């Protein structure tokens, strides 16, 4: 039997747009063997998803079309099959999972029916037999109590559950190949770990091959057998996982590794990849990575690099692999920027002191809108933050970290507790009294696309806060200040007449930072500022934030779910679970010796590119609803070390060292 299941040869998918032909997939070749996991890795806009859609012939027509190439599934070219045969392939021999579990399920159909549809279609089972198969599938994807779940609607399931249902639908046709397009990107790390483990297990049982599309190096390191790196519509490097992670060859791959934030890079600048991915409408006359590459020389501009296949199976598309050029050095050096170590003494007095902050949202029901309960979004939080320091607030989505930020800013008025900023209790001030204080605390949001008004020019956006706060002086001084700010965040003053849609995600985030800086804040609340960005751009923003902190002595409250960012940037870490902080301390203490079982599980769930020292620990279940938090310790239903006491009382904080405390009965 042939070992190769899927063979893709020189696949090209082009899109006709108003700005020319976009070559989303431009000559991609790879093969997937039976039972192996093949990862397609790349930044957004590189054509990864389009490659997957092309394999299934699901490219949105007539805008896009497959121009050339062949896709051989067991020797049969899928691109030449008639549509009715293709329908049997889709969902039958090739299954697919999409990124967004929320929108992939039909909200008005029962979950069981949706899976059954696929079972009936591809296995020809009917009624009882089909239902029995659905229940088996639900069981196989680890959904507890399948009998009951069969009759539920998608909105009754959590995100992780929905993704499991999606997997069940994909498995219904007993596929030989499963295409998973960013299957865990929308999920939290602990859930991501569960889903990845499930997929690996299913693969072992059924022997199917998997094409995993992802931007996350960590995920690749966890599950992939072989890796292909895509850049601007082409595969630039392809290797086995071991080869790739031990010896990446292409300059782009090397840079990707270097730009990953990491505890070992603390205190240094992260490597950045200049610029961003070129638009796919460009006519490339040379190497596509040339403009951003540290090694590029004039040959790279003028001649398209060829694919070099090494005997070990490692393949690279780069001129550096040409015999004559082997071993050329770096031609572009980054500005060696002296990393000024912090010399300023950190004052002992905290700039921000939060005591017992609670934010509860009332739930109204019925004709007269009676309050029937509360969402305990934030339920008693204490934070101390000193000037020039970064406190990272870590937790899964839904644990209330963003609400903490808004509560401190008084965008949402807290239900109880004090927010002392420079010894003034903000919760006691009226909106009017707050107004002059607004400039001192600023916020940077997660989504750079919704945080800038599309109808305002950059200059107006930055100026808005300065006018509201009465800072910046006369009109000409104001304009001068805007120029300075733009330069400070790495944009040029010419950008100020432009509108936000003309910028990339990373540039927008810079504009957001400039906007916040315009009012000379002392504290910036960063609400996941890099989670919507690609790794290479994330590095640019993290470097910028770090530089600004050193120059201006800013304090950051850094809200994130990304542990690697925390490791790199934060001084202190607070781990949140369901509205409360369960563990807090210096970053080394918490990340190296996590004490709380939740912190331990969270850390071990993070996919890592290095061989993990941490022991694998998988959490079952998901974050409970903050409307009815579990009795006793909130974590007790998921805790592997649960004791009788945990179900009765909420543990008090136990001081482990001067700066490190944990709220768990294990250390009482």
Q: How many helices (H) and strands (E) does the chain have?
A: 21, 24
Q: At what angle do helices 189-206 and 159-172 cross, to 10 degrees?
A: 20
For the chain, report the end-to-end CA distance as a whole number of angstroms: 61
411 binds another protein (CB under 8 A): yes
Q: At what angle do helices 111-123 and 159-172 cross, to 10 degrees?
A: 20
409 binds another protein (CB under 8 A): yes
Residues 6+ apart with CB under 8 A from 619: 190, 193, 194, 598, 601, 605, 638
Report the residue number, 416 or 434, with the smaller CB distance to another protein.
434
Q: How far is the CB of 33 from another protein (least distance, A)?
A: 38
Alpha carbons 260 and 272: distance in angstroms, whole number: 9
468 binds another protein (CB under 8 A): yes
Report the residue number, 29 or 504, with the smaller CB distance to another protein.
504
Instruction: Tell which residue, 400, 542, 525, 558, has the closest CA to residue 451.
Output: 525
499 binds another protein (CB under 8 A): yes
641 binds another protein (CB under 8 A): no
> Helix, strand or coil for residue 293?
coil
281 binds another protein (CB under 8 A): no
Q: Which one of 23, 93, 319, 515 is in contact with another protein (CB under 8 A)? A: 515
38 binds another protein (CB under 8 A): no
439 binds another protein (CB under 8 A): yes
Q: How far is the CB of 433 from another protein (least distance, A)?
A: 11
Stretch that binds another protein, among 258-266, 314-322, 433-441, 629-637 (CB under 8 A): 433-441
Would you say 291 and 278 are in contact if contact means Cβ atoms under 8 Å apart?
A: yes
65 binds another protein (CB under 8 A): no
Report the residue number, 200 or 437, with the smaller CB distance to another protein.
437
x/- site string to another protein, residues 285 to 314, per CB under 8 A? ------------------------------
Alpha carbons 569 and 390: distance in angstroms, whole number: 7
The helix (H) or strand (E) run that includes residue 214 is strand 209-214
478 binds another protein (CB under 8 A): no
Q: How far is the CB of 481 from another protein (least distance, A)?
A: 15
Stretch that binds another protein, among 340-348, 370-378, 392-400, 441-449 (CB under 8 A): 441-449
Q: How far is the CB of 225 from another protein (least distance, A)?
A: 36
Would you say 162 and 112 are in contact if contact means Cβ atoms under 8 Å apart?
A: no
Report how many residues bind another protein under the rule CB under 8 A: 30
Q: Which one of 34, 87, 266, 438 is in contact with another protein (CB under 8 A)? A: 438
DSSP 73-136: ETTEEGGGS-HHHHHHHBTTTEEEE-S-HHHHS-TTS-HHHHHHHHHHHHH---HHHHHHHHHH
445 binds another protein (CB under 8 A): yes
Q: How far is the CB of 544 from another protein (least distance, A)?
A: 18
Taking residue 184's Cβ as centre, other Cβ atoms within 10 Å add up to: 26
Would you say 502 and 419 are in contact if contact means Cβ atoms under 8 Å apart?
A: no
Report the residue number, 332 or 413, with the smaller CB distance to another protein.
413
Q: What is the dihedral of CA 109, 112, 117, 118, to 10 degrees?
A: 120
496 binds another protein (CB under 8 A): no
Q: Which residues bind another protein (CB under 8 A)?
A: 406, 409, 411, 434-436, 438-439, 441-443, 445-447, 450-456, 464-465, 468-469, 499, 501, 512, 515, 519
């Amino acid at each position: 039997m042939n070992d190769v299941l899927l063979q893709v040869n020189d696949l090209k998918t082009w899109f006709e747009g108003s700005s020319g032909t976009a070559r989303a997939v431009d000559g991609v070749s790879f093969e997937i063997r039976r039972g192996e996991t093949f990862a397609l890795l790349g930044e957004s806009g590189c054509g990864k998803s389009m490659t997957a859609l092309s394999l299934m012939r699901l490219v949105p027509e007539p805008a896009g079309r497959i121009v050339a190439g062949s896709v051989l599934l067991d020797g049969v070219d899928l691109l030449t099959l008639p549509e009715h045969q293709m329908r049997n392939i889709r969902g039958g021999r090739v299954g697919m999972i999409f990124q967004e579990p929320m929108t992939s399920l039909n909200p008005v159909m029962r979950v069981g029916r949706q899976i059954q549809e696929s079972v009936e279609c591809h296995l020809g089972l009917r009624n009882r037999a089909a239902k029995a198969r659905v229940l088996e599938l639900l069981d196989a994807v680890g959904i507890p109590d399948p009998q009951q779940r069969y009759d539920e609607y998608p909105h009754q399931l959590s995100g992780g559950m929905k993704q499991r249902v999606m997997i069940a639908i994909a498995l219904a046709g007993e596929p030989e190949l499963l295409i998973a397009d960013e299957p865990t990107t929308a999920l939290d790390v602990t859930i991501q770990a569960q889903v990845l483990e499930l997929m690996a297990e299913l693969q072992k049982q059924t022997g199917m091959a998997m094409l995993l599309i992802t931007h996350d190096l960590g995920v690749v390191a966890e599950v992939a057998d072989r890796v292909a790196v895509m850049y601007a519509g082409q595969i630039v490097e392809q290797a086995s996982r071991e080869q790739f992670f031990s010896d990446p060859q292409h300059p782009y791959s090397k840079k990707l590794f270097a730009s990953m934030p990491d505890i070992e890079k603390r205190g240094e600048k992260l490597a950045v990849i200049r610029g961003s991915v070129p638009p796919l409408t460009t006519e490339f006359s040379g190497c596509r990575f040339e403009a951003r590459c540290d090694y590029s020389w004039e040959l790279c501009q003028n001649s398209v690099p060829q694919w070099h296949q090494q005997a070990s199976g490692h393949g690279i598309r780069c001129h550096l692999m040409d015999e004559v050029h082997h071993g050329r050095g770096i031609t572009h050096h980054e500005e060696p920027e002296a990393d000024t170590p912090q010399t300023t003494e950190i004052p002992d007095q905290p700039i921000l002191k939060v005591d017992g902050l609670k934010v509860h949202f009332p739930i109204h029901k019925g004709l007269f809108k009676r309050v029937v309960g509360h969402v305990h979004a934030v339920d008693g939080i204490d934070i101390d933050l000193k000037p020039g320091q970064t406190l990272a607030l870590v937790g899964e989505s839904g644990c209330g970290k963003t609400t903490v930020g808004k509560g401190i800013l008084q965008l949402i008025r807290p239900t109880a507790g004090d927010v002392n900023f420079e010894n003034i209790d903000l919760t006691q001030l009226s909106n009017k009294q707050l107004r002059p204080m607004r400039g001192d605390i600023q916020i940077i949001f997660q989504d750079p696309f919704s945080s800038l008004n599309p109808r305002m020019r950059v200059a107006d956006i930055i100026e808005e806060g300065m006018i509201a706060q009465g800072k910046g002086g006369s009109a000409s001084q104001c304009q001068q200040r805007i120029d300075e700010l733009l330069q400070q965040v790495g944009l040029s003053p010419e950008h100020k007449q432009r509108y936000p849609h003309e910028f990339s995600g990373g540039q927008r985030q810079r504009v957001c930072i400039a906007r916040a800086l315009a009012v000379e804040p002392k504290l910036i609340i960063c609400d996941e500022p890099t989670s919507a960005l690609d790794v290479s751009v994330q590095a640019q923003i993290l470097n910028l934030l770090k530089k600004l902190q050193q120059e201006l002595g800013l304090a950051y409250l850094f809200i994130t779910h990304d542990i690697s960012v925390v490791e790199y940037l934060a001084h202190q870490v607070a781990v949140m679970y369901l509205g409360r902080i369960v563990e807090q301390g210096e970053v080394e203490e918490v990340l190296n010796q996590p004490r709380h079982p939740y912190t331990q599980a969270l850390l071990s769930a993070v996919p890592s590119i290095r061989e993990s020292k941490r022991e694998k620990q998988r959490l079952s279940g998901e974050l409970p609803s903050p409307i009815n938090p579990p009795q006793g310790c909130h974590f007790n239903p998921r805790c592997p070390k649960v004791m009788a006491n945990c179900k009765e009382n909420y543990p008090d904080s136990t001081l482990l060292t001067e700066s490190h405390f944990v709220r768990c009965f294990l250390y009482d």
